[in-house]
Amino acid sequence: MNAFVLVMAPLLAGASVFLVRWFVSPYPIYMQVRRTLDALTDTKKEERTKAVHGCFERSAAILKEHPSVLLSFHALSRAEGHRLESNEEVAEVCDLIQEAGHDHPFEGISPGYVPEKDWLSFLKYVKHAPKINPEEGKDYIDAADRWRQDHGYPAPPDDDGYVSLVERTLLA
């Protein structure tokens, strides 16, 4: 019996250490992976914030340089708004432009012609479509009307904003 106890006690102690280590060891690995992922997420957020503010800064500089010739949409297009990654980023840039004292880039065409959920897609469409120059003139306004028709959106009941936008574009 003494021999049995002398053999089994160390064996059970070793097995219990092994079992505890087996269950506990993944936790530090999990925490290390989580810290790494959090750092990557924070880096990505910082990168996206820089992209939004960079686009806004370029748009504001363009509008300041050509205040009477260009509309806010033209400036957003020239500042490469189509390179943003989400509609939320486009909306944030538009809000910053408006807060800086300029017209909202989608004023007159949103929500009736181009809903907010389509802003980024519309920017990419007008930037890359043939025979549309989104950086000056009224091409983007005609494109907004085509966008509405192509996507099956109903005609907005009140076109006052659209009409005044067309007038401002033609007068500019």
CA-CA distance, 72 to 61, in Å (whole number)? 11
* pLDDT, tens digit (0-9, with 9 covering 90-100), for 103-141: 888 887 777 778 888 888 888 888 887 777 766 677 777
Q: Is the pLDDT of residue 170 over 50?
A: no
Q: Sketch the domain layout of the chain as residue ranges.
A: 34-171
Preceding peptide of 111 cis, ω within 30°: yes
149, 112 contact by CB (below 8 A): no
More confident site: 55 or 165: 55
Mean pLDDT computed over 1-6: 66
Q: At CA 126, angle to CA 122 and CA 132, rounded to 5?
A: 155
C-alpha dihedral, 58 to 59 to 64 to 68, nearest 10° = 150
CA-CA distance, 143 to 148, in Å (whole number)? 9
Residue 153 pLDDT grade (very low, low, confident, very high; cuts 50, 70, 90):
confident
CA-CA distance, 73 to 103, in Å (whole number)? 9
What residue type is assigned to position 102 of the chain? H
More confident site: 138 or 12: 138
* pLDDT, tens digit (0-9, with 9 covering 90-100), for 99-113: 888 888 888 777 777
